[in-house]
Amino acid sequence: MYNPRGSCPGATRRMPARHELIAPRGIELKTVAEFAIKYCQFLDAEGNLAADAPALASDTSELLKMYRFMTLARAFDSKAVNLQRTGQLGTYASCLGHEATHVGVAAAMQPDDVLAPVYREFGSQIWRGVKMSSILLYWGGDERGSDFEAREDFPWCVPIASQVPHGAGVAMAMKIRGEKRCSVTYIGDGGTSEGAFYEGINLAGARALPAVFVVVNNGWAISIPIGQQTATKTLAQKAIAAGIPGVQVDGNDVIAVRHVVGEALARARRGDGPTVVEALTYRLSDHTTADDASRYRDPAEVKEAWNKEPLPRLRAHLTKMRVWDAAREEALKNECAREIEAAVDEYLSTPLPSTDAMFDHLFANPPQSLLEQREIARRYKRKH
Amino acid sequence: MYNPRGSCPGATRRMPARHELIAPRGIELKTVAEFAIKYCQFLDAEGNLAADAPALASDTSELLKMYRFMTLARAFDSKAVNLQRTGQLGTYASCLGHEATHVGVAAAMQPDDVLAPVYREFGSQIWRGVKMSSILLYWGGDERGSDFEAREDFPWCVPIASQVPHGAGVAMAMKIRGEKRCSVTYIGDGGTSEGAFYEGINLAGARALPAVFVVVNNGWAISIPIGQQTATKTLAQKAIAAGIPGVQVDGNDVIAVRHVVGEALARARRGDGPTVVEALTYRLSDHTTADDASRYRDPAEVKEAWNKEPLPRLRAHLTKMRVWDAAREEALKNECAREIEAAVDEYLSTPLPSTDAMFDHLFANPPQSLLEQREIARRYKRKH
Amino acid sequence: MAKVTMIEAINRAHAWEMRHDPAVVVLGEDVGVNGGVFRATAGLQEQFGKDRVQDTPLAEGMIAGMAVGMATQGLRPIAEIQFMGFIYPALDQIANHMARMRNRTRGRLTCPVVMRMPHGGGIHAPEHHSESLEALLAHHAGLRVVCPSSPARAYGLLLAAIREPDPVIFLEPARLYRLVKQEIADDGQALPLDVCYRLREGSDVTLVSWGAMVTETLRAAENLERDGVSCEVLDLATLSPIDHETILESVAKTGRLVIVHEAPRNCGIGAEIAATVAERGLYDLHAPVKRVTGYDTIIPLSRLEHDYIPTTARIMDAVRETLAQ
Amino acid sequence: MAKVTMIEAINRAHAWEMRHDPAVVVLGEDVGVNGGVFRATAGLQEQFGKDRVQDTPLAEGMIAGMAVGMATQGLRPIAEIQFMGFIYPALDQIANHMARMRNRTRGRLTCPVVMRMPHGGGIHAPEHHSESLEALLAHHAGLRVVCPSSPARAYGLLLAAIREPDPVIFLEPARLYRLVKQEIADDGQALPLDVCYRLREGSDVTLVSWGAMVTETLRAAENLERDGVSCEVLDLATLSPIDHETILESVAKTGRLVIVHEAPRNCGIGAEIAATVAERGLYDLHAPVKRVTGYDTIIPLSRLEHDYIPTTARIMDAVRETLAQ
Ligand SMILES: Cc1ncc(C[n+]2csc(CCOP(=O)(O)OP(=O)(O)O)c2C)c(N)n1
Ligand SMILES: Cc1ncc(C[n+]2csc(CCOP(=O)(O)OP(=O)(O)O)c2C)c(N)n1
Ligand SMILES: [Mg+2]
Ligand SMILES: [Mg+2]
């Protein structure tokens, strides 16, 4: 099991030894509740499949589809970073290393479920139909990027953790209407420290909402390692505070992610309530293109994490299953490059929005004063 | 064990059966973390003492002191409600039924620890030196009541849960200075749904702060029973989300409360970090004097709770120990009545503050404009 | 036609709209079984069931965020904040999501939410139960802020707020809840948002106020009439966006402006009204603008709160001073 | 004497005060090892240790609440909010506790806290990284709100803020962080709070601005000078409480007032300035007051943000219009 906390001495030093009562000497206390957090991995870092892996592990067409999207997300990400470096994109939050989590989660969902992302879950979004050009448009500083193709999914959410109550609210609407749909809400390891995370999962638990909360534990919240964020041994156990199941999964094993999230969704659809899934992965990139992780992060840790990244292990598995080889890899890479090229072209050729755009979507019924300000803005529009 | 949730069908209906993973069929998952919540009670509702009760249970002088303060708090409370009913006090939040929790917590503390209360922990405050006249002054609508005698303790905190980060911050100051002091922070069952509660205990856990958080689970948050507040089986388990110990105690058993909080404080003072203590008790009164609980609460539940209230069981124990009898009870009641009478006199004879009071404590260095407004307020002062 | 208090009018507006629009749902602390601490939602859970009238856990940020989630799914949540002083934990959701979702997604997702809450002091309540924080919300583009001053306007404006396709902060003056009764038809008729209501015509001075302070303002106007002073009284009603046109028109007629609000003066909504007149109506002014407001301090606990809230006498003096210029 | 940018000036003010006052502690997200996302606190953890320069978990409400707790124990926390758009979760603590604790306890417990944060747009940052929310804080009695417009004022005002016995919201214009260098002595000399700074004397019109907009305002004044227009430029510096006296004096001299701020217009601090002039300086005005501000909408993402932020041209036109009256 990959534990990003490994490198952070603070974490273990601070964790109370056994989470048990300050035992009154010589007194036997009654146990009134017990909990366990389980961990799921099927495909290890070397690509070895566990003996008890689910049927999905031999569903090659599904595995190939997931591998395709993981590869696409990886290539898209690298292109986006490049665009930023060359001044053609704004600050960008890379998804490097998160591909198995993002694709596994999306693959487990139904199209009419609703996704509430944070800001770097591009693999999920592309799977769910969001055009790469929409993603680029948003990170290029254009709101039209959020008017994207997954019509009911939430846009990117910058205020950390504030999307969690949205996911719960969406699930509440689904429950009230008796639908068989679910919401899936992402949150980062850092995000679990915000009260909104806890408030949202507590509501979901209290009302048994059809919701799944995926905590992407990539080890870091900008410069703060997970061991400084919380004293907990896992993030899955945060679920216990909401009275709901929490489970840890190897976030670099797309089979495990898809399986566990699939089970959680099935449970939610049955009306049995929400689940917190902690996906253990690693942020292989800087926090964003505006960050320089070398200031605060040990390169040895990053190197170690590269040994566990999600793509090679799935490739190894597919190769073992004889559905993958170097030629197919080459072909896929080219195909991805072409798709990405087209998306970049579309993005770069999107004309600037008019200044009106900042006024025209604020209200369905805009007040007169706003229309007057729109006039002023037209007058002072900068030449670009 | 007294469980206020008993009467709330919602709670059990909604609680996921075993808090375990949506088990992948036929797959054995590794357990990565395990937790247990224990429950502590020494003195049962009938006043029977557990065989393994701590030494405190036979420390009659300490027990008598606690009994005295519990009786005083009860009598004070009844007087305060009376003052409100007769138009001599503002809206008031009764502490009826909470006496063992409030006194047990305070008795476990050192004088130079810091208490951050909510709004009804009068038993704790009186123990810690807050004059009853100060309490009345505050609930009578006069800020001077919060300029009270426990100089470093926090004033009453109305915005639910916002005191929890204060408790953590105080403990952080103590830790930075290497002091052997602790903070103790109260919160209600309803309060545990606010993000601030969770943020505060998470910080305390992450930095191993010398802090104890006492969750007073009195079954109700105004009209919301605990079973609708959260799906958790206990509130003590909320601690697991902060990676710290959580323990449940019979909040109507002052020996257990004092013992458990004492152990938690000792642990904190040793540098071993914070603890969440859930005290199970019951709000025997309306939420406040502005509330009418009969609108939403089954009288049978209240009647049942009266059978478990804190005073008779301690009285029974003291009687068995031959340090209490009817005459002493009578004398104590009279003594309390006299003390309360004096406090009420002091409160009622406190002259109204001047209008200046609303300006004079806002800033150490008030701006000129504020002093001008003070002039206006003097001019328009109402006749009282 | 029935004579009802403001709290009853609010209750009926809820019920009317819930009967006619199945998308309307009610959420909040103690709004269900208990019917709200002021009884605004009394009986609604019995009529419309627990799905449509939901008691929530105690967390305002979650309530607002949940409302955002539900609204994007096509529901029309009416969420109660128990007192305006407890809105702070919800501000992140209100400002960063409710007010922005339509703009952020270019109209793809919208938030037709009403956030209702008691507003203002004067009810001898504990700390944090007497706040007037309308200016905080008014400063946020993407929100409407509405505050009725009578049962009939509470009924009509609340219906309008619920039907508005964008979020509305609906402030209910707590000390008016049961102060007077007024006939309302309970016919589902909404009143227009974004406009002032002229409560009294006059020619010497324009008084602008809203919420509970309208009572003192009208009383001042009545008293002054006996002295031969003719006051025009405008109820701002929609506090954002402000109907500046009506105010400017009135000031063009009277030449004098006194603004009355309970919230602190500094950066209150009165400032925006005065500033706009200084920009667009300066030449109409015969005398300096006056603001009669709460002081720039914390509203005191009950023993002093009446020395904080503007009184009829203060308003009358301000009018006299402006007339003396 | 060294020439430093604003971000370096801020860094040095921290260091100076931490060397001289052991009660000063620094908290925030990424302020420790990383030295802050803008490097404001770079090197401080190495110099002063992990107790005095603390990385916190990611929770703004907790950061502010923790600062309240620490301050009541006699420490002087300087807490960073990573961007002003993320202040919302902290508003409950700031408004309901930090601003009130002294008043609530009649001086028994106090909150000498500085809440620092980057302010304003123009740095091509993602959503929620460009907010100008000073009016929200200014409306709260019990707080000071301060915003420097140069490295030297950042240094001197930050020192004053840290030494103030009450809470100060310290807004750092992000687009000025590295824009210019200025000599500072780094001698621990504070600058006075609660006063405007006159950056330019003039006789035809008074321009009031603060933060990053001071740059455009000064540029407008320089350009206008070439046309023979003499502008007096005031940097508001302390946004609450406002130094109205200096503004009124200046308006008494020039007879004209243009207020420039980046925040939305509606209920912005510009409104308070204009309102006060309409009350206390009306007879000095030769022309209507003008406000040149951000629009009442959400500040756009980077492709349009420069069409949102007031430009030198808009300021110059406003001055010309006011002179034409
Ligand atoms: C409320 C809020 N506070 C601060 C920030 C600034 N910020 C952006 S990302 C980030 C760290 C998030 O870490 P994590 O939740 O682990 O997500 P990751 O970036 O690792 O995916 C911070 C502090 C923010 N966006 N929102
Ligand atoms: C932030 C906030 N929201 C709402 C309220 C209104 N309110 C006062 S007490 C209360 C219930 C608190 O219940 P609990 O935490 O269980 O404490 P108890 O009253 O039972 O002691 C509520 C909702 C408040 N004071 N603060
Ligand atoms: Mg992370
Ligand atoms: Mg309770």
pLDDT digit string, tens, across residues D42-100: 999 999 999 999 999 999 999 999 999 999 999 999 999 999 999 999 999 999 999 99
Cβ-in-10-Å burial (0-12, 13-18, 19+) of C252 comes to: middle
Name the residue in chain C with its Cα closest to that of A206.
C57
Pocket of ligand 2 (CB under 6 A): B 118, 120, 158-160, 188-191, 218, 220-222, 283, 287; C 29, 58, 60, 82, 86, 89
Averaged pLDDT, A2-25 = 40
Answer whether B245 sits within 8 Å of A196, measured CB to CB: no
Q: Tens of pLDDT along C237-287?
A: 999 999 999 999 999 999 999 999 999 999 999 999 999 999 999 999 999
For residue A110, the distance in angstroms to the closest alpha carbon of chain D comes to 29
Residue of D97, D119, D129, D261 with catalytic role: D129
Q: Could C105 and A170 be called an inter-chain contact, meaning their C-beta atoms sit closer than 8 Å? A: no
Question: What tokens does B261 get?
Answer: 């909080």
- Give residue for tokens 């969704």: A265
- The whole-angstrom separation of Cα C182 and Cα B337 is 48
Which residue's CA is the nearest one to ligand 1's atom 19?
Answer: A221
pLDDT (tens digit, 9 = 90+) per residue, A282-307? 999 999 999 999 999 999 999 999 99
CA of C265: which chain B residue's CA is closest? B373
Report the pLDDT value the prediction gives residue B6, as an integer from 0 to 100. 34
Distance CA D270, CA B8 (A): 54
Reply yes or no on whether the pLDDT at A26 is more than 80: no
ipTM of this predicted complex?
0.97
C-alpha distance from C220 to closest chain A C-alpha (Å): 31
Cα torsion angle, B55, B60, B61, B67, sign: positive
Adjacent-strand bridge partners of C78: C26, C114
- Predicted confidence at residue A384, as pLDDT, reads 55
HEC secondary structure over chain D? CEEECHHHHHHHHHHHHHHHCCCEEEEECCCCCCCCCCCCCCCHHHHHHHHHEEECCCCHHHHHHHHHHHHHCCCEEEEECCCHHHCHHHHHHHHHHHCCHHHHCCCCCCCCCEEEEEECCCCCCCCCCCCCCHHHHHCCCCCEEECCCCHHHHHHHHHHHHHCCCCEEEEEEHHHCCCCCEEECCCCCCCCCCCCEEEECCCCEEEEECCCHHHHHHHHHHHHHHCCCCEEEEECCEEECCCHHHHHHHHHHHCCEEEEEEEECCCCHHHHHHHHHHHHCHHHCCCCCEEEEECCCCCCCCCCHHHHCCCHHHHHHHHHHHHHC
Q: What is the pLDDT of residues D178-218, one digit of tens each?
A: 999 999 999 999 999 999 999 999 999 999 999 999 999 99
Q: Which helix (H) or strand (E) holds C219?
A: helix C213-226
Inter-residue contact D52 to D26 (CB < 8 Å): yes
Across the interface, do C274 and D274 touch by the CB < 8 Å criterion? yes
pLDDT tens per residue, range B164-200: 999 999 999 999 999 999 999 999 999 999 999 999 9
pLDDT band at A27 (very low <50, low <70, confident <90, very high): confident
Residues in chain D: 325
Find the mean pLDDT for residues C171-195: 97
pLDDT of amino acid C325: 86
- Averaged pLDDT, A89-112: 98
Burial class (CB in 10 A: 0-12, 13-18, 19+), B341: exposed
In the predicted structure, residue A88 carries a pLDDT above the cut 60: yes
Cα of B119 from ligand 2 centre, angstroms: 9
The catalytic residue positions of B are 283, 287, 296
- Which chain A residues have a beta carbon less than 8 Å from that of D83? none
Q: How far is the CA of B383 from the centre of ligand 4 (A)?
A: 39
| Beta carbons of C311 and B380 less than 8 Å apart | yes
Q: What are the strands of the beta sheet with D168-173, ordered from one edge?
A: D53-55, D24-28, D76-80, D114-119, D168-173, D144-146, D238-240
> Whole-angstrom Cα distance, residue A153 to residue A149?
9
Q: Encoding tokens for residue C177?
A: 């809840």
Torsion angles phi and psi, residue A126, rounded to 5: -65, -45
What ligand has the least distance to the C-alpha of D90?
Answer: 1
Crossing angle of helices C213-226 and C312-324, rounded to 10°: 50
Whether residue D192 has a cis bond before it, omega within 30° of 0? no
| DSSP assigned state of C96 | I
B116, B171, B369 member nearest D244 (Cβ): B369
Compute the nearest-CA separation of C241 from chain A (Å).
7
Q: Are strands C205-209 and C168-173 parallel, antiparallel or unpaired?
A: unpaired
pLDDT higher at D227 or A28:
D227
How far away, in angstroms, is C62 Cα from ligand 2 center? 15
Mean pLDDT, residues A44-70 taken together = 97
B91, B121, B160: residue to mutate for ligand 2 pocket, most atoms within 8 A of CB: B160
Predicted pLDDT of residue B1? 31
Examine the pLDDT at B234 and tell me if it is beyond 60.
yes
Size of interface C-D (CB pairs under 8 A): 153
With CB atoms and an 8 Å threshold, state whether C288 touches D297: no
Question: What is the C-alpha to C-alpha distance for residues B98 and B106, in angstroms, rounded to an integer?
Answer: 12
Q: Do A141 and D303 touch (CB under 8 A)?
A: yes
Pick among B138, B143, B172 to test the D interface (most D CBs inside 10 A) = B172
Question: Does ligand 1 have an atom closer than 6 angstroms to the CB of A191?
Answer: yes
- Residues of C with Cβ-Cβ distance to A171 under 8 angstroms: 69
- The predicted model gives B34-61 an average pLDDT of 96
* B353 close to B381: Cβ distance less than 8 angstroms: no
Quick check: B155 pLDDT over 60?
A: yes
Closest residue of chain D to A139, computed from CA coordinates: D126
Banded model confidence at residue B4, pLDDT cuts 50, 70, 90: very low
> Which ligand minimizes its atom distance to the CA of A188?
1
* Contact residues of D toward A, CB < 8 A: 29-30, 32-35, 37, 55, 57-59, 61-62, 85-86, 88-89, 124-129, 265-266, 295-298, 300-308, 311, 313-314
Model confidence at A25, pLDDT cuts 50, 70, 90, reads: low
Inter-chain CB proximity A295 and D88 less than 8 Å: no
What is the reported pTM?
Answer: 0.97
Q: Which of C33, C58, C305 sits opposite B229 (nearest CB)?
A: C58
Closest ligand 2 atom to B216 CA: 21
Q: Which two tokens stand for residue A251?
A: 């976030």
Helix, strand or coil, per DSSP, at residue C273: helix
The per-residue pLDDT for B302 is 98
Separation in Å, CA B230 to CA A163, B355, C65, C69: 20, 44, 17, 20
Q: How confident is the model at residue B19 (pLDDT cuts 50, 70, 90)?
A: very low
Q: What atom of ligand 2 comes closest to residue C29's alpha carbon?
A: 23
* R_g of chain A, CA atoms, integer Å: 22
Mean pLDDT of B354-372: 97
In the reported structure, the alpha carbon of residue A69 is separated from the centroid of ligand 1 by a whole-number distance in angstroms of 25
Instruction: pLDDT band for A375, please (50, 70, 90 cuts).
Output: very high
Q: What is the DSSP letter of A364?
A: S
Whole-number Å distance, alpha carbon B219 to ligand 4 midpoint, is 5
Catalytic residues of C, by residue number, are 129
> Could you give the percent of chain D with pLDDT greater than 70?
100
